[in-house]
């Protein structure tokens, strides 16, 4: 299964006073998220005037909840396998540091992440690949069924045979 599985929030999180606001954000409905200004002003305004807003909402919600480099695509547009380390590659080294820190900082115990080498294809036909964090399971109830959430931390540009600088996923 390549999609992100959705599970319930554990009681550990609901008992922590320090995590109540974080839990409130995670469990907001799409309308609460938009109307309480957790998304951008563009999203709020364009929804109000009648534009189709779901795609922008998901992009902003995923970035707010998981980190600015995270995105989500239907599972049919994402494939991944094992990430392989390389010596003398600053991007791969940095990706390891960023991913390790991200895993250590995870707040929700039911969220499960994996370090993978990921390929994705967008609706416009463009493609990206690289070392990524893949969200295998989350308690975020707003994630669409059949979606895969991920962040490409170190992108590989196949046509040029080179790594782009690693990105901090937070």
| Structural domain containing residue 51 | 5-163
Question: Which residues make beta-bridge pairs with 152?
Answer: 132
Between the alpha carbon of residue 131 and those of residues 3, 126, 157, the distances in Å are 17, 17, 12
Task: Measure the CA–CA gap between 95 and 116, rounded to whole angstroms.
Answer: 11
* Residue 169 covered by a domain: no
* Residue 170 covered by a domain: no
Residue 12 DSSP one-character state: H
* Residue 115 covered by a domain: yes
Q: How confident is the model at residue 2 (pLDDT cuts 50, 70, 90)?
A: confident
Region 119-125: what's the mean pLDDT? 96
* Residue 153 covered by a domain: yes
Contact call for residues 30 and 142 (beta carbons, < 8 A): yes
pLDDT at res. 8? 85
Task: Measure the CA–CA gap between 11 and 105, rounded to whole angstroms.
Answer: 19
Q: Which of 3-7, 32-36, 43-47 has the lowest mean pLDDT?
A: 3-7
pTM (predicted TM-score): 0.89
pLDDT at res. 1? 61
Look at the chain and report how many structural domains it folds into.
1
* Residue 168 covered by a domain: no
């Amino acid at each position: 299964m390549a999609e992100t599985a959705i599970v319930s929030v554990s009681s550990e999180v609901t008992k922590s006073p320090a995590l109540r606001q974080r839990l409130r954000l995670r469990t907001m409905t799409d309308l609460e998220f938009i109307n309480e200004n957790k998304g951008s002003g563009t999203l709020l305004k364009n929804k109000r005037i009648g534009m189709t807003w779901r795609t922008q909402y998901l992009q902003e919600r995923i970035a707010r909840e998981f980190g600015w480099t995270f995105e989500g695509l239907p599972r049919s547009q994402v494939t991944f396998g094992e990430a392989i380390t390389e010596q003398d590659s600053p991007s791969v080294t940095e990706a390891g540091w960023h991913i390790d820190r991200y895993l250590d900082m995870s707040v929700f115990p039911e969220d499960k992440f994996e370090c993978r080498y990921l390929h994705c294809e967008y609706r416009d036909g463009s493609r990206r690949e690289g070392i990524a964090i893949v969200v295998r399971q989350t308690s975020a109830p707003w994630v669409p069924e059949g979606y895969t959430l991920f962040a490409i931390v170190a992108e590989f540009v196949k046509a040029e045979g080179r790594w782009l600088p690693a990105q901090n996923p937070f």
